[in-house]
Amino acid sequence: MRAFHIDSPGASPALTDLPMPTPGPGEIRLKVGACGLNFADLLMMTGDYQDTPAAPFTLGMEVAGTVDAHGPGVTAPAIGTRVAVFGGQGGLAEYGCFPADRAVPLPANMSDIDAAAFQIAYGTSHLALDHKAQLQPGETLLVLGAAGGVGLTAVEIGKLMGARVIACARGADKLAVAEQAGADHLIDAKTDDIRAACKALGGVDVVYDPVGGDQFDAAFRATNPEGRILSIGFASGTVPQIKANHLLVKNLSVIGLYWGGYLKFRPSVVTDSLATLMGWYEAGRIKPHVSHVLPLDQAAEALEVLRSRKSTGKVVVTPN
């Protein structure tokens, strides 16, 4: 089978012919239908992600496909079942083996492409806004990076939860995508003063930040007393440094959220969240935005689309 594989520490990933994998105890094997790309995949390529596997490994954190074999001790999901799995690695391949207890059966109306674009982006935003920030109807939510993979889902879920949503993204085209997802107000990160624009709208109660850097600083200064700032990631490449005395004066909370971490210490939180999100999908209340679908032999180009910020929503790779 073919896989986009890193052979040794420090090596660049390449499309490689590998033996068909055999599922181990507690695992299922999937015939991969689609793999969603994430910023973390780029960090894994350089060894900078907090959960980078030891080489050799195949890139691709989240995958959708059809169960075609069971490992020892596994009886479910049944062979032939379509599922999505957050495996942390292994998705950029024609087949892969993943933990059976992470497999989420798919609704009949969900395509493999939608499923591969679903778990991390929607799961991150739902846990952040609901479980961590406890966003309330009528509050004002500022979403930075609002046209990106997680940012766009935060706009969508924020509106579903009854918030007034301010979307911040770079350029008119990306802002248009955020507006289609339900944003009430738009801020162009290339040309607008984020702090001034938010202040003119009455300030913000919750900040959703997958960007970091200068945008975090501007949003921090625009947050209302008792505001909550969700630190999701650092796509800018700069990790913010927070002055604790400023938190004290304004009674602010800065809250970290790493979705994958919950699978290790409190998986029921993820399970409950995904059940809610799948229900919303089946009811037509949410729909993944996928701007690029590329075949496996263009996996490097797909990752470059993500790196160069040419995408909106998600980038998905399919085996064919």
Q: Are 147 and 290 in contact (CB under 8 A)?
A: no
Query: How many Cα atoms sit within 13 Å of 15 on the Cβ side?
Result: 13
Q: Where are the domains of the chain?
A: 2-118+288-318, 121-260
pLDDT digits (tens, 9 = 90+) for 26-72: 999 999 999 999 999 999 999 888 889 999 999 999 999 999 999 99
Q: Give the pLDDT score at 10.
A: 85
Distance CA 99, CA 71 (A): 10
Separation of alpha carbons 159 and 269, rounded Å:
22
Task: Evaluate whether 2-118+288-318 and 121-260 have a shared fold.
Answer: no
At 51 the pLDDT is 86
- Average pLDDT over every residue of 170-198: 97
* pLDDT value at residue 50: 85
Q: Is the model's pLDDT at 185 over the cut of 90?
A: yes
pLDDT at 48: 87
Q: What is the pTM of this model?
A: 0.92
pLDDT per residue over 270-280, tens digit each?
999 999 999 99
Predicted confidence (pLDDT) per residue in 278-312, tens digit? 999 999 999 999 999 999 999 999 999 999 989 99
**9 pLDDT tier (thresholds 50, 70, 90):** confident
Q: Which CATH architecture has domain 121-260?
A: 3-Layer(aba) Sandwich (3.40)
Model confidence over 190-246: pLDDT tens digits?
999 999 999 999 999 999 999 999 999 999 999 999 999 999 999 998 999 998 999
How high is the pLDDT of residue 63? 98
Q: pLDDT, tens digit, for every residue of 128-174?
A: 999 999 999 999 999 999 999 999 999 999 999 999 999 999 999 99
How would CATH label the architecture of 2-118+288-318? Alpha-Beta Complex (3.90)
Phi, psi of 158 (to 5 degrees): -55, -40
